[in-house]
Amino acid sequence: MEGLPHKRGRLPAEPYGQWEEEAKGLIEEEMMRRGIRYKQLSRMLEQLGVFESPDQLNRKINRKRFSAAFLIACLRVMGVENIALHQFKQGQNKEG
């Protein structure tokens, strides 16, 4: 008998952990810049056919595990037209 595979098919949090934090930061920064709370974001996303409660959005964003499609939908409904990727430095850690 063979042993169980060790987390086969799953990538470790790194190197994606840093980028998940950046994606979360993008959403939160734009929400703060525009004075948008989760309740309003929830209503705005409904216009795109995305139905999630404010609590679900809060958990999803803070968990930092969401799709690129979700990120784009959030940024789009908030009116974000451009993202400067040069602001993200590879290997940079915002914490600390």
**Model confidence pLDDT, tens digit, residues 13-30:** 577 888 999 999 999 999
Q: Please, which pLDDT band fits residue 9 given cuts at 50, 70 and 90?
A: low
Does the pLDDT of residue 79 top 70, yes or no?
Answer: yes
Dihedral pair phi/psi, residue 42, rounded to 5° = -60, -45
CB 24 within 8 A of CB 17: no
CB 71 within 8 A of CB 23: yes
Region 1-8: mean pLDDT is 48
Q: Residue 26, class by beta-carbon neighbours within 10 Å (0-12 exposed, 13-18 middle, 19+ buried)?
A: middle
Rounded CA-CA distance 57/59 in Å is 5
